Every structure is written in C-alpha cells, then in structure tokens.
Chain A
Amino acid sequence: MSWDVVVIGAGPAGLAAALQAGEFGLSVLVLDEQPAPGGQRFRAIEAFEQRCLVNQAHLSNEDNHGATLTRAFRRSDITCLSQASVWDVSPGGRQISYLHQGRSYSIRPKAIIVATGAIERPTPIPGWTLPGVMTAGAAQILLRTSGRIPEGRIVLLGCGPLLLLAAQQLRDAGANVVALLQTTSLADFARASLHLPSAMWAPKLLLDGLKLFARTASNRTVSSVRGVKILGENQVRSVEYVAGSQSETFDCDVVLLHFGLIPNIQIPRLAGAELKWDDELKFWQPVTDDWQESSIENLMIAGDSGGILGAEAAEISGKLAVLKIARRLDAISESTLEKIGRNLQRERHRYAMARAFMDAIYRPPLDRFLPIADTVVCRCEEVTAKMIEAGVANGADGTRRLKARVRAGMGPCRGQMCSMATAAILSKKLGIGAGDIELATVRPPIRPLTIGQLAENALED
C-alpha cells in the first residue's frame, strides 16, 4: 500500500502532525530514529514520567504536556516505527528509504512531512574531539534517558537558553558544575531589548528565558568569553579562555558545549528543497510557504527543522503541515482548511515574534569562533582549519571543490559536524558572504547502511 503521509521524526512537530493527519482520516506512517516517541525535547518522556511518578518528583508543565501528547499518540492507531532511520529521500521527494531492524525499505508516500527538529550548532574549538567533551544537549539526553550525570568537574561553555537550562538541570541533579562560560555579552542584551515589545506576545517563553538567566547568574559564571581552548592529552584536563583582558584556566573533567540550535536540514537538502540563509541567526533553513510546504510539492517541513521556534510552535507547524496534504487528498474541505489554517498561522506568528528577542541575545558568536590553525573541523576525516585554508589556496573556491581537495565532510557523519564551519572558513578566505556559499551536496546514505543491507533493499513500486 502507499501511505498518504510519512512523517519523519516523532518529536512535538511529528507527533502533532501525525495525530492531525490521523484525525483527518489519512493513512500515516511515522518513522522515528529514537527508541520511543518524544523527539529530543521530550526524549524518553514516557520512562521519565514513570520515574518522576515513582519518586514523587515534580514533572514540569512542559514535560507534562509532552507526556500527554505522547500518550495520545500511543493511543491512536497510527503506525510508528521506532529506531527506523531514514537514509535517503530521493530528489524531488518522491521516495523515502529507511532502515528498520536491520532491513532497508524504499517507499513512495503521497506526501512527506519532515519533522527532524534541530541540532546543536557544531562549533569546532581546539580540543573538541577529546573524550570528556560533549554537547550540553548530550548531557541532557544522558540525564533523561538513563538518569546519569557526567562524573567529575563540569564546565559548560557557549551560549543560548539551552546552555542555561542544561546548567540548571545538571545542578539540580547533583552534578558538579564548576563553571558556566558564556560567550554572550552585555551588548547582546542591549540589542535584544529592541525586540521586547514584540516578544511580549509570547510572555511565557520570554519569562522562562529571563528566569533562567536569574537562576544561573548566581553560579560561577563568566560572560563575553573568547579564545577558548580545551586542553588535555587523552582526556579533558582543563579549559583555557580569555575574558576581558585576562586569560584564565579552569581545571575540569568534562566540557559541555552549546552554541545554539540550527535546523536539521539534511533531508530537505537531499530532496533538493530550496534553502535560505538567515544572516541574523547564521543558519540555512528551508524555504516554506504559509502551510509549511517546501519548494517541493508535498514535501512539508514542520517544527524546528524549518526554523528554530521551539516545541510549542513545532506542534502548531506540525498541524499546519497536514492541512494542504489533507485538502489535496480531499480529506477536508476548503473552508476547513482556511478556518483551521488561519488560526494556526496566527499562533505560529506569535512564537516567531517572541523568538526574535531570544535570538538577539544569543546571537552565535561565530566571528570570534572561526576555527583556525590546528583545530579539527571535520571530526570524521580529521581535517584541520589549516588544511581547509590550504585547500582554498590550492584553488578550491567552493564547497564541492574543497571537499574533493581536503576530504572535509567525506566521513560517516556526512558533513553534519563540519559543513557549516567549513563554509564559514571559505566565506572568510574568499571574502564572500556566508549566504553566498552553497553547502556541499548531501550524499546518501545519511544514516548507517551496509552494502548487504542495500543489496537487499525492498523497493516498493
């Protein structure tokens, strides 16, 4: 059979989209890479809720909502394949290939909703490949999925609300957070205040952000940090940084990095959807219309993979993404489309306004964190900034030529960790705006796949 809709990702956007599509009577398949629905925001939420219950611990309102959403999804008759990883979407978005329980399948649904969320912006800094360095999000996932916290003295480094949230959660869980090094400066706050009036439309998000600041300010916090180096031979030993005119060193065992979120656009890129560069936020995002449809017909982008607006907005865009599909398949009337759609669009807009404030505070400090010298940029192929610069000097004046010259992005992560930083170096060296540097082509398979699995791929006609 051919599915009406395949939803990729079971985070807030994917779950909301699947439930909405189910309500309209569409046949829906959800492909999710995690063992249980919830996405990263509500990772392992069912188990977490149970743990909180047993321990009589308080479940936050957000988590409560996530648990409710997940429960509704579980109770629905929607087919969900967990631990299914999508390794290809064909150009034009007609065919999805995925791996599930060791077998590969290619299917051709009538429409696709990409709800693959966000990733933490990979920011190469000296020493970031050392054991002991993880992302702040990774630490949150450990906490969530197994109730474990990294052993030893922890330094958090970077910027963005999630960094503060992670610091808070880790400390609450009993972790030994010795320092919070923020790249954010006072100037960022000043700039952000310009966005306050529009941010007031979503006071909850705003308030959460400010509360976080207040709570973490009491910690050993340093602002306007730059010149960061993670030191150690086989393991993290210390972090060196510059703040003001002072250079300081913190001894530590674990460094958690976080430089904000960027949309996970691997699948739209594979499919060939049009992207746009956001020069304020310094990332690429898919071009979508008011109904979350990308430049490719019936390829919808919902949630943070279409632009970082957070979990609540993700649910709205997830529902929104279904409407045009349902209309095209004649599952809803034009007036239903308009009625539901316009409401959702208004709500979505409110979140976008509030987001501008947060974004302005946490502008990625990319100019101060452009990798240089021996800093590893491509972790898989161990390509340093110097090697990339040499490649540019040897005639590589674009990402494709550069990849062929220095192998950056040719490893198993398919450039997910290095493509942004590589493009940034190229941009600097060539004196071209980052938005004018096309990212290197994404090559399938974007998830692990063996030759044997491909050889036995089950191809649906």
Chain B
Amino acid sequence: MRGESDTCSRTFDVLIIGGGVVGFSIGYGLLQRGVSVAILDGTDRDFSATRGNFGMVSVSNKGFNNIPYFRLSLASRNLWPSLADEVHDRSGINPHFEGRGKVYLSMGEQELADRVSHIQEFLLRAGDEYHQEILSKDDLDHLLGHVGLGDRVVGGAFSRLDGSVEPLQFYSGLFRAYLSQGGHYFSSQIVRKIVSKNASFSVQTPSDTFSAPKVVIASGLGTPPLASQIGLRLNVRPERGQIMVTERIERVFNYPISGFLRQNVEGTIMIGSSSEYNGFDDHTSVGVLTGLAKGAVERLPLLRFVQINRCWAALRPRTDDGYPIYQESQQRPGAFVVSCHSGITLAALHARLLPRWILDDVKDNLLQPFGTGRLQDECAT
C-alpha cells in the first residue's frame, strides 16, 4: 500500500522515518499539537521489533545502573493509562493495558538472597519511587492464583510498578488512532537520502520526495545509516529474542512473571524471552526454545501440558550501552534520532514528552541524560 495517492501534497510539518511502535507513538503525540505529520514506513519484509515483542511495560528492572533510565521508564508507565484509554477511544481497539505489577520468581536460595540485596541497593539508589518487595513462595502462589509453583522456586518478589499491554492490539489501535487524527502514512518507502536546504529537509525514496522542517529518524535497526546523513554517528545492533506462545487456555495466572511468562487476554501464554547476538538472523533455534520451555516448566509445572502454538524470533535494536537515544543533530538542527529497544514501555513517554522537544526545542529533564554525548564520552575514556 502506498498509503496515499500521488496527487496529495508531499510537504508536512514533521516527517517520521520508521513506522514501528516508536514512530507511531511520536507521530500520534505530534498530531495532538495540531501539526501535520507523515510516517514513512518500510516494507512488509523489514525486521520489525514491533511485531515480535513481549508486551511488557517494564519499570522495576530498568536502570539499576542508570537511575535516569529507571525514572524515564517510570514516567512512561505513569503516562500509560491515559494513552491506552485514548487509543482505545479513538480506534475502537482495546490495547488491554494492565498496570497491576509483576512477579519475580527466585530459583534457589542464592537467587533469592541476590534479589534481596538487589532490591535494597535499588531502593538506596532510586529512593522512594522504587518498589519491589520480597514475598514468600506461599504468598506468591496466592498472588498468582494458586497456580502451583515449581519445587525450585523458593520465593521471589512483587513490584507494583510494572504493567503489560497487548502489543499487537496496541500497535493496531495506535495506527488507526493516528490515521483518524489526520496522520499521513506511506508504506514501502525506503529512504535513500536526507537533504537539508533552507531550514527544510527533503527525504528521498526511490519513488517520492517528502519535505518538512523537522525529521525524526525512528527506524530501529535501520537507524545508523540514516543518522549518519544528519551527522550523527551511532550504533544499533540486532539483539535476537525468541518467544513462544501457547494455545488459548482459561486465565491461570494474574500477573506477568518477570522475564518469562505472561498471559494475554485471549488466553494464550507468552513465554520468553532470550537474548543473543547473532547478526541479522531472525530465525528461531530449537536449543534456545528448549531452554525457554525448561524455564517455564520449572516455574509453573502445570504448563508442561500446554500446547505451543507458535515460536518466533525478533531483533531488538540495541544501542551501545542499551539505553535509549534522544538526540537532535547539531549539524542539521531540526533532525532528530530516537532509538530504543523498549518501544512499548516508553510509548506513552514518546507520545507525551517528545512533541515539545521536537516542535518547541524544549527537551524534558527526563530526556537530558540520553543524548549521544554519553556514548562519545565513553569512547573517549
């Protein structure tokens, strides 16, 4: 789909290169400011972290070594309920945001002891905003709805900070809400060139040229070559994650379990998620999937008899230090790069806080630590 006829105007207030959840969150947010926005998306074949992700709005395990990242994630989580409601209202698609927290399960005494000290340290670093409490195995079992925890589970923790969303429905809803608010969308646009001239950018694809005074690059793994055209050097590496999803069964556990398990509204259970650096290979491998299955059965033995419906892998766009990048080009003001692997967690923040930065040049304090400067500093030292 080309999205729109060739006769329409190709000049907008903001162009966003990348039609994943990051691009659409920003685009949706910008529309609320009354500007005209066009999203230039790639093809159906492109790697898509949006289609492959687990749907967690993660906070309590974010930024142990980088408290600003924790604050960023928490801020986004707090903005999530209103975004979810809006998207639901404007699209008719319920993204099923649930912000009731998540459970951590500790396998063996050592893991539990490590968790205790981890939480203490996190509290020291992050202060009162942080929450995670140790729970006994019985309490966890009760919390999860008496699902029967595995023998090796000795205890764990609960954090009320986290949430989850149906990632595919959220994306569909966001897409429709964006269009209903007057956003423009162009598919199969492989951006070749970004040229700046007279305070305006023109973005060239093999078939079209688009122009706008502002350009946002949110192209996931495709970001680095585009960013270099606006004078920003950065790396984004593919980090493969494998996930499996089961048949539909009646609701069995009430909270997502960190790192491993989550039950969707329609009843399917997602089991994930691995981490590998394997280049641009987005296939599954039986060895890794076996590991995921073992982990799931160890934690919730009842899952042993549940049917696997589908396994897949997707590539997370991973920056050098794993933290997001929000950077305006100094050489080409008006051109921005947004890159992160937590597009779902940060979606609400992207929709609510990035428009001011992009349109008014006011970069929220929360975003300040996440320029590319830190990466260059790191290289220098």
Contacts and interface: CB of A to CB of B under 8 A. Distances in A.
A106 B286 contact: yes
A253 interface: no
A400 B307 contact: no
Interface string A94-135: 010100000000100000000000000000000000000000
A394 B172 contact: yes
Contacts of B3: 395
A261 B246 CA distance: 30
A412 interface: yes
B142 interface: no
B51 A400 contact: yes
A392 B1 CA distance: 8
Interface in B329-359: none
Contacts of A405: 168, 172
Interface in A398-451: 398-401, 404-405, 407, 410-412, 414, 430, 438, 441, 443-445, 448-451
A130 B296 CA distance: 36
B310 A394 contact: no
Interface string B168-184: 10011001100100000
A91 B308 contact: no
B307 A398 contact: no
Contacts of A57: none
Interface string B184-219: 010110000000000000000000000000000000
Given A392-B1, A455-B297, A450 B45 contact: no
Nearest to B24: A395
A382 to B, nearest CB: 11
A62 to B, nearest CB: 38
A194 to B, nearest CB: 38
Nearest to B306: A451
Interface in B283-301: 283-287, 289-290, 293-294, 296-297
A231 B301 CA distance: 44
Contacts of A411: 309
A97 to B, nearest CB: 5
A451 B293 contact: yes
Interface residues of B, number: 41
A397 to B, nearest CB: 4
Contact of A412 (B176, B284, B296, B307): B307
B74 to A, nearest CB: 28
Given A397-B44, A451-B246, A443 B312 contact: yes
B289 to A, nearest CB: 6
A400 B312 CA distance: 12
Nearest to B281: A91
B271 interface: yes
Instruction: Give the interface SS of chain B, mostly helix, strand, loop or mixed.
Output: mixed
A452 interface: yes
Contacts of A441: 312
Interface in A260-282: 272
Interface in B265-289: 271, 283-287, 289
A91 B312 CA distance: 13
B178 to A, nearest CB: 9
Interface in B49-74: 51
A397 B187 contact: yes
B304 A410 contact: no
Nearest to A406: B172
Given A97-B286, A451-B271, A401 B294 contact: no
A451 B309 contact: no
Contacts of B247: 412
A190 interface: no
Contacts of A452: 293, 297, 303-305
A398 to B, nearest CB: 2
A401 B284 CA distance: 19
A454 B290 contact: yes
B311 interface: yes
B2 to A, nearest CB: 8
A457 B188 CA distance: 41
A400 B290 contact: no
B262 to A, nearest CB: 14
Interface residues of A, number: 37
A455 B286 contact: no
Contacts of A444: 284, 286, 289, 310-311
B212 to A, nearest CB: 21
Contact of B286 (A95, A392, A395): A95
B308 A449 contact: yes
A430 to B, nearest CB: 6
Contacts of B271: 451
A400 B305 contact: no
A455 B172 CA distance: 33
A457 B309 CA distance: 17
A176 interface: no
A399 B309 CA distance: 18
A436 to B, nearest CB: 11
B43 interface: yes
A451 B289 CA distance: 10
B304 A455 contact: yes
B101 to A, nearest CB: 25
A378 to B, nearest CB: 13
Nearest to B285: A90
B304 A414 contact: no
B51 A445 contact: no
A88 interface: yes
Given A392-B1, A405-B168, A450 B306 contact: yes
Contact of B308 (A399, A404, A454): A454
A232 B271 CA distance: 40
Nearest to B247: A412
B106 interface: no
B287 A398 contact: no
Contact of B290 (A414, A430, A438, A459): A459
B48 interface: yes
A305 B18 CA distance: 39
Nearest to A410: B310
Contacts of B179: 394-395
Contacts of B1: 392, 395, 397, 430
Nearest to A443: B310
Contacts of B311: 443-445
Given A394-B172, A412-B309, A451 B44 contact: no
B281 to A, nearest CB: 8
Interface string B10-21: 000000000000
15 contacts: A90-B283, A394-B176, A397-B187, A404-B168, A410-B309, A438-B45, A443-B310, A444-B289, A445-B311, A452-B297, A452-B305, A454-B289, A455-B290, A457-B286, A459-B290
Given A397-B188, A451-B305, 18 more contacts: A95-B286, A272-B283, A395-B175, A397-B1, A398-B43, A400-B51, A412-B307, A438-B45, A441-B312, A443-B310, A445-B308, A451-B246, A451-B293, A451-B297, A452-B304, A452-B305, A454-B289, A454-B293
Q: When A and B form their complex, which 7 residue pairs have the shortest distance between CB atoms, in order from nearest?
A: A398-B44, A452-B304, A397-B1, A454-B293, A455-B293, A455-B294, A91-B283
